[in-house]
Structure 1
Amino acid sequence: QRAKFMVLNALQADEAGKKEEALSLYMEAADLCIKTMNEPMSASTKKQLQKLAKESLDRAEAIKTSKQLASLSQLDSLFDFDESLKLTTSTTSVTKPKDTTSKPTHSRNEPTQPTTSTSHAPSSGGERYTKEEIAVLRFTSMINGREYLPFMAADLQERFAFPMPYSDKHGILELSKKQRERLGGWKRPDEFMNEPQMILTVSSLSIMQTVVSDCSFVASLAISAAYERKYNKKLITSIIYPQNRKGDPIYNPCGKYMVKLHLNGVFRKVVIDDRLPVDRQGKLLCSYSANRNELWVSLVEKAYMKVMGGYDFPGSNSNIDLHSLTGWIPERQSLRDKNFDYDGFFQKVRDRFHKGHCLATISTGMISEAEADRAGLVPTHAYAVLDVQVVYGIKLLQLKNPWSHLRWKGNYSAHDDAHWTPELRKALNYDNKYAQEFDNGVFWIDWESAMHFYDTFYMNWNPELFPKTTCRHASWLAKDGPTKDSYTLGNNPQYKLEVRNKGATAVWVLLTRHITEKEDFAENKEFITLLVYLNEGKKVYYPYSPPPHIDGVRINSPHYLTRIQVPENGPHRYTLVVSQYEKHKNIRYTLRVYSFTDFKFSSIDNPYKMNKRIQGEWTAQTAGGCSNNKATYGNNPIYQLNIEGSGQAQLLIQLRAPKSYSNGFDIICVGTNGEKPFNKTTSGAFRPGYSALELTVPCGTYNVIPCTFSPQQIASFFLDIGSSVQSTKISRLK
């Protein structure tokens, strides 16, 4: 089998003109056949091996003597970009296969969905990543101590054919406690399957969860399989390699596979071998397909578990899992929100579900054992949503327990003869009598009961709904700004979004925090959100002055989706601010914008070439208070700015002081090279802890007077001054 697979790969390389790669594979296949013929075997098998070896050697010899490899000079020209790679041996030598290890991509073209060629969404060969973005993607390629590089076109040339069964260089995965207790060993498919196949039939009903606590992932596999089967689109099977010419994943007797997962902002390659954990009876201790000899479920799960650090990972939710599997846009809806529109939400999900626009799962919260037993449900457990229907005014969900057994026992369950009228059974093509005899974990539940027992509804939206998209990858260091942003947003990452629309439209923005450690799922302390301001795309310094147009809820999920309803008659400009509840460590993140119409998305420029921090204090002699205190106001510290030049200067002045005091500052115009813009201006209302002011002024001399609202408020402070003119000098007058 391995020899045949190698010859198949050699033929494909041969036809593609990759003669060196084909030659190497032919020679290795022939060598494997010759060595194997020394082992005991039937005459027919030996005859097949002899034939395969002869065909491989004949084709290899033909390549050696062909004109394409006839002269050394021709070979040299193939490698003239690097002198160290020039061949120095004879033309008949077999060169080592090229290293196909991918490097972090410099292109912004990611295979998540079609990208329209506009100023904001790069077409092929368009916009490239910045150095910062490359650094972010490189840093977050290390997940749980292993490197997963961005998926590139070169990865389609990954080598999968080997004389000996492939073993992952990272070794076997860490097992869960239940797996360790039952483990009989690690086996390859041909050791416990008669005729291993990658896919027999893609069906949600055949997917079985075992002892791994990844119910949300298995539920995600189930709804992806249901979508693929219903719409005949390769949603989940397209991420598995190797593939045949039709793009279908195939069984590899050599044991190497590659799975493409969307992780930390981009699709990444995950390489695994086919060794799977089995118990002492030879039964799989990982998720599997009820169709014997079918491998895809176990292999996709293994790839995901590898990234998550092993089969002992603490669990996640289907928003995270589905986004990793498909790149589809994650959204969550709490069913416990006080202002939740139950009917409107159900209607939206039903309409979009049947158009193939979204995939859905639903999860229970904490339920007592007694209540869970009565209901037939599992606490804190994810269920796949297989169907959404309204029949005779009754709102119904068809759900699947990833365990493939244990079902709902309430209204419209298999044993509820009272609600299953002949008309309803006919409308849904459902035989509850048959279902009573066979528990496959699939059941119907009415919407009212679902809202009572379930906590959260998860949806992942097809990104192809949006013809325009782009993204930014960035970092936010813990040292940048205060731990909490309840007083100032001045150090938060901020972006300008300009939507160029005529009619009313919608723009979605997905904030994704990059995950690099297993503990980020189990004990995540990073609560993130996205704030949207109607601020003409200008920088925001105060959280609630003005109040945000969209005040996001801070959650400890890696994904946060913001929907912006854009009124007609654009363009409209927004300021987007990344926010955390408390910063504990450096974070890396991706912002991806999805739109129906043209837009421009960019970081807000920092025009300040000169930046200086001054540490000062209000003492018993200098704490003069605000200008209302005429007798003492003159005692305050005074700092003078001399801005050289004849043009305009942009200034940013920020004052930081203890939050127990309200502070502010005044600016006095001493003189300019042109007309005075003002005699005196202020930072505005006095604020606890922080005040800021941006202004554009003629070059000249200005005095800055920091002060507290009341006199004799003794404290230290920081005065940060930024100027667009490099030759700005600052001195203290008193």
Structure 2
Amino acid sequence: MAPDGTLNFQEAEAALAKAAVKASQQDFDAAYDLYVRAAKAFLHLARATASSNSGTRVQSTLLSARCRENAAKALERAEQIKARRSAPTSQSAMETIAFKRRWAHTYLEDQLAVLDRSTRVNGHKFDPWEARHESIGPIANPPFKDPDGALTLSQSQAELFASWWRACESKDESSIMTTPNLATEDIYQHIVTNCSVIAGLAVCWEHNLRFGTNLCLSSIYPQHDDGTAQFRSDGMYSVRLLLNGTHRQAIIDDTLPATDGGLLLCASTRGTRVLWPSIIEKAYMKVMGGYDFPGSNPANDLHAIIGWIPEDIDLHGSGFQEEGTWRRVYEGFKTGQCLVTLGTGEALRMASAGPNLVPLHGYSVIGMSNLGTNGQSIMNPWITSGGGSVPNPSSRMFSRGVDSQAKFDGLLIGSLWMEWNEVCEAFDGLYLNWDPSPFKNTRSFHGWAHNGILWIKCTKFAIDPTNQSSGDDNYSEMWFLLTRHVVSKDHPSEFISLDTASRGGQIDPLAEDLLSRQSGYTNSTHVLVCSHLVNQNHPSMRSAFLSRSANRPVAFTLTVFSQTAINLMEHPRKLPFSAQVDGTFTSRTSGGNPTYRTFMHNPQYRLRLQPGVVQGSKTLRMILEATKNVAIKATIVWGGGKRVTELTQGDVQMDSGPYVYGTTAVGGLLKPSDYTLILSTFTPGQQSPYSISVEADGPVSLEAIPSEGAGMFTKSVKGKWCGSSAAGNPSFGRYHHNPHFDIQVAQATTLFCRLQHVDAPSGTAINLTIFRKDDAGQIKEQVVTSGSYADAVCGVATSPFQLQGPAVYSAIVSTFDPGVEAGFELTAYSSACPVSLSASELN
């Protein structure tokens, strides 16, 4: 069986024959599973054979036809068993058969199409790995030369480059493929541009020394019987890499760049020239577009080279847990299930690191200890000398805090020793690769995220409780790995995001609400999310994939690792009714979160959800998308489709959860009615275009609600309560000492006013009351008031009222308690004519 779970031709035929045996024994469940498995395998083989260059064209065509014939046979028998096992009605049986046919032909063909479209990377073709790739063929004479040509050199390499060196043509007998005598510190790089790759190769070799594994070596073909790479005298090698959703073949020759002194300008080794680091690096650099690879992070590189699960941890992120991370990483390192590398940022964070750390560089963790203090042994694989000799490791590393004779948990003498708290301070990134073999079940889904408006793919994972191991504490854990397919180093990195949520019981596609977005976008190739099941009796999980690209669709692979049986199901069908609106957060309409007085200025929409033919609550799904650097949120409130100035908990029907960058989603069941949809940014003044997409199973529409005072004449003034003018409410006997403002209009008009405090202490209650003034300027009767004193963040406002003009009115602004010194802003809105606001003295 291939590592990605697909069967070769003999295994597929064996599965087909075994299925027939199980069917004859009346074991229809086992027979059904085997027929489906065989059908999938034959479909895969049919496509692979049709595009193969091996053998004659006639042979390939005949074999492809045979595979498709066997696939159809297996599918037909699986459909018969399905119909017999479930004993459905005639109509139901037809629907079941039609569904299975669509699933086997359309679904599987779509999956293979995604992988086929991702075959060409950086101008070269990397076919999916097949068993035949393990055998390259007879030795070529003259030596093999890669038809794709030499790799592009980096600028640093080009400055020192003198000639190409080939091991197969070299008379230096010290060159070998591998040796057990190679020390981890012997692996180095002379040119620093791809430090992440070299750091990854070093930790793989250290793992091989500690645990007797063949990491990296097992990726090079041809191989010896023990699974280690074999030296080939014609210089031709086939390297197996996990790339764009599946293992693929990279064919290279052993031509390597060198200086005039014979020093290799690529991954190399001290002393005896061991070739495997150079071969692995060259194959991966071919995929990445050449030696001018700008660098990645070691976790991403090792995922491609050895297939271990990558995890990136921001050591200075808000969610980083120093002690919890240490315990998890140390346990994984000690047991050999975790490879650890580190990366510095643009600026060194720790002055005491001195010359031992450099910015934007990758480091290998080759030892960890919890004796006395928690710490790590760190190796820098960069050779800094400009000559042809390689310095002794002790000349570029130091040890401190460790007994000179000590060697425990992989700690190597002469390495840079740092305590864990120092590591967390000095480095920016912690990069991990986890062994996937402890997970008993792995499934992958390959799909497309289309350009422009956000596209979401929700995948549900149904758990089979009968396959759970009660003695396994990890059986409820599931890891979701989202991988963006790489096309070209010249394309800007698309941003991807992954989130998961869980719910128990049966899945109702139409009743499910969308996931609230918890994570922002990243331009990394991979995103890993670890989840635990909530209900272990009848658990189910779903994951949401979100991605955007300005210019082109993005292919992705979603892989799930689990201790329990998992089943991937496609996205629920789209709901029949939809609406979409585009808008812009401007400097005025970006009002910030509800703690800001400008929250009321955020864009708002009347969301009308109608009953339709079927009565009762309706399922609604909504996506809000903005630029990736703007944190946003969507809130649906019981506002009758009118503008809302402040949120009250009882009025909120549903929201998208915490503010997140770029994209957020909200959904659930709503009764048909008119609601107010509020779109808000976390911080006021952030500018960005946005798009709202709504789906529902009842008629739905969105209509923009005008901002407060839209279409009216507006006038604002600012003032301050201070000293004697901070007089408080009328019960304190000095109410008329509060700030006064004359409101003048030239003609009859409808007017309303809003008062907001600017920097008052939390809980400050305010009031606005408007009085008529007589011809002598004396304050007379009250015309309108904002009501009781209130401490709302949005302030207080009067209801609209009629003014007879020309006339002068007086507005008195006050706090409930006297002595509160703070600023305020008073705004008047007039329907028919301009309005004048001016401070007036107490008469």
User: Among residues 239, 242, 258, which one is paired with 2:238 in the alignment?
Assistant: 258
Q: Tell me: CA distance 1:160–1:682, structure 2 relative to 1, closer, same or farther (3 Å).
A: farther
CA-to-aligned-CA distance 1:657-689 (integer Å, 9 cap, x gap):
9999999999xxxxxxxxxxxxx8337554557
Structure 1 residue aligned with 2:382: 403
CA-to-aligned-CA distance 1:74-105 (integer Å, 9 cap, x gap):
xxxxxxxx9xxxxxxxxxxx9999999x99x9
Structure 2 residue aligned with 1:279: 259
- How far off is 1:340 after superposition? 2.6
- How far off is 1:588 after superposition? 0.6
Q: Which amino acid aligns with 2:307?
A: G
Q: Which amino acid aligns with 2:267?
A: S
Structure 1 residue aligned with 2:141: 163
- Indicate the SS of the match to 2:302: helix
CA contact (8 A) 1:359 1:460 kept: yes
Q: Tell me: CA distance 1:377–1:130, structure 2 relative to 1, closer, same or farther (3 Å).
A: same
Q: Which amino acid aligns with 2:316?
A: R
- Indicate the SS of the match to 2:498: strand
- How far off is 1:580 after superposition? 3.5
CA contact (8 A) 1:539 1:575 kept: no
CA-to-aligned-CA distance 1:402-444 (integer Å, 9 cap, x gap):
125799x9xx97365xx4557x847689897xx4xxxxxx322
Q: Which amino acid aligns with 1:275?
A: T
Q: Which amino acid aligns with 1:169?
A: P
CA contact (8 A) 1:362 1:456 kept: yes
- Indicate the SS of the match to 2:162: strand
Q: Which amino acid aligns with 2:426?
A: F
User: Among residues 478, 483, 495, which one is paired with 1:526 in the alignment?
Assistant: 495
Q: Tell me: CA distance 1:446–1:208, structure 2 relative to 1, closer, same or farther (3 Å).
A: same
Q: Which amino acid aligns with 1:156?
A: E
Structure 1 residue aligned with 2:571: 604
- Indicate the SS of the match to 1:414: coil
Structure 1 residue aligned with 2:299: 319
CA contact (8 A) 1:651 1:694 kept: yes
- Indicate the SS of the match to 1:478: coil
User: Among residues 461, 470, 481, which one is paired with 1:497 in the alignment?
Assistant: 461
- Indicate the SS of the match to 1:181: helix
Q: Which amino acid aligns with 2:270?
A: A
- How far off is 1:563 after superposition? 0.7
Rounded Cα–Cα distance in structure 1 between residues aligned with 2:484 and 2:240: 19
Rounded Cα–Cα distance in structure 2 between residues aligned with 1:383 and 1:317: 10
CA contact (8 A) 1:365 1:379 kept: yes
Question: What percent of counterpart residues are identical?
Answer: 26
Structure 2 residue aligned with 1:507: 478
Q: Which amino acid aligns with 2:559?
A: R
Structure 2 residue aligned with 1:682: 673
- How far off is 1:704 after superposition? 6.7
CA contact (8 A) 2:237 2:252 kept: yes
Rounded Cα–Cα distance in structure 2 between residues aligned with 1:96 and 1:539: 46
Structure 2 residue aligned with 1:669: none
- Residue 178 of structure 2 is aligned to residue 199 of structure 1: yes
Q: Which amino acid aligns with 1:221?
A: L
User: Among residues 316, 331, 337, which one is paired with 2:311 in the alignment?
Assistant: 331
Rounded Cα–Cα distance in structure 2 between residues aligned with 1:462 and 1:246: 20
CA contact (8 A) 2:485 2:556 kept: yes
Q: Tell me: CA distance 1:532–1:284, structure 2 relative to 1, closer, same or farther (3 Å).
A: same
Q: Tell me: CA distance 1:321–1:99, structure 2 relative to 1, closer, same or farther (3 Å).
A: farther
CA contact (8 A) 2:451 2:548 kept: no
Structure 2 residue aligned with 1:364: 344
Structure 1 residue aligned with 2:422: 449
Structure 2 residue aligned with 1:268: 248
- Residue 147 of structure 2 is aligned to residue 172 of structure 1: no
- How far off is 1:347 after superposition? 1.8
Q: Which has the higher contact order (CA 8 A, sep 6+)?
A: 1
- How far off is 1:200 after superposition? 2.1
- Residue 144 of structure 2 is aligned to residue 144 of structure 1: no
Alignment of 1:252-651 (within 5 A): 252-367=232-347, 371=351, 374-391=354-371, 393-403=372-382, 414=398, 416=400, 419-420=401-402, 425=406, 435=414, 442-479=415-452, 481-482=453-454, 491-501=455-465, 505-519=476-490, 523-532=492-501, 534=503, 537=507, 548=516, 551-580=518-547, 585-606=552-573
- Indicate the SS of the match to 1:448: helix
Q: Which amino acid aligns with 1:394?
A: T
Query: Does 445-454 or 165-174 show the bigger shift?
Result: 445-454
Q: Tell me: CA distance 1:251–1:691, structure 2 relative to 1, closer, same or farther (3 Å).
A: closer
Rounded Cα–Cα distance in structure 1 between residues aligned with 2:487 and 2:443: 23
- Indicate the SS of the match to 2:179: coil
Rounded Cα–Cα distance in structure 2 between residues aligned with 1:517 and 1:177: 19
CA contact (8 A) 1:194 1:293 kept: no
- Indicate the SS of the match to 1:350: helix
Rounded Cα–Cα distance in structure 1 between residues aligned with 2:418 and 2:198: 20
CA contact (8 A) 1:657 1:663 kept: no
CA-to-aligned-CA distance 1:566-611 (integer Å, 9 cap, x gap):
1353322333111247755311100000111123221223176x78
Q: Tell me: CA distance 1:665–1:153, structure 2 relative to 1, closer, same or farther (3 Å).
A: farther
- How far off is 1:527 after superposition? 4.1
Q: Tell me: CA distance 1:158–1:652, structure 2 relative to 1, closer, same or farther (3 Å).
A: farther
Q: Which amino acid aligns with 2:172?
A: N
CA contact (8 A) 1:665 1:706 kept: no
Q: Which amino acid aligns with 2:327?
A: Q
Q: Which amino acid aligns with 2:126?
A: Y
Aligned alpha-carbon RMSD (Å) = 5.0
- How far off is 1:167 after superposition? 0.7
CA-to-aligned-CA distance 1:111-148 (integer Å, 9 cap, x gap):
xxxxxxxxxxxxxxx98962222221111111101111
Q: Tell me: CA distance 1:127–1:235, structure 2 relative to 1, closer, same or farther (3 Å).
A: farther
CA-to-aligned-CA distance 1:156-194 (integer Å, 9 cap, x gap):
233252121111111111011121122111121144452
CA contact (8 A) 1:334 1:456 kept: yes
Q: Tell me: CA distance 1:524–1:428, structure 2 relative to 1, closer, same or farther (3 Å).
A: closer
Structure 2 residue aligned with 1:699: none
- Indicate the SS of the match to 1:599: coil
Q: Which amino acid aligns with 2:365?
A: V
Q: Which amino acid aligns with 1:559?
A: H
- How far off is 1:694 after superposition? 3.7
- How far off is 1:329 after superposition? 0.6
Rounded Cα–Cα distance in structure 2 between residues aligned with 1:663 and 1:320: 43
CA contact (8 A) 1:160 1:242 kept: no
- Indicate the SS of the match to 1:251: coil
CA contact (8 A) 1:198 1:251 kept: yes
TM-score scaled by structure 1? 0.63
Q: Tell me: CA distance 1:447–1:404, structure 2 relative to 1, closer, same or farther (3 Å).
A: farther
TM-score scaled by structure 2? 0.55
CA contact (8 A) 2:484 2:554 kept: yes
Q: Tell me: CA distance 1:547–1:509, structure 2 relative to 1, closer, same or farther (3 Å).
A: closer
- Indicate the SS of the match to 2:283: helix
CA contact (8 A) 1:261 1:268 kept: yes
CA contact (8 A) 2:458 2:542 kept: yes
The structure that has the greater radius of gyration is 2
CA-to-aligned-CA distance 1:533-568 (integer Å, 9 cap, x gap):
6497556999xx8773x7123221110001111135
CA contact (8 A) 1:228 1:236 kept: no
May I ask how many residue pairs the two structures share in their alignment?
541
CA contact (8 A) 2:635 2:677 kept: no
Q: Tell me: CA distance 1:665–1:131, structure 2 relative to 1, closer, same or farther (3 Å).
A: farther
CA contact (8 A) 1:256 1:271 kept: yes
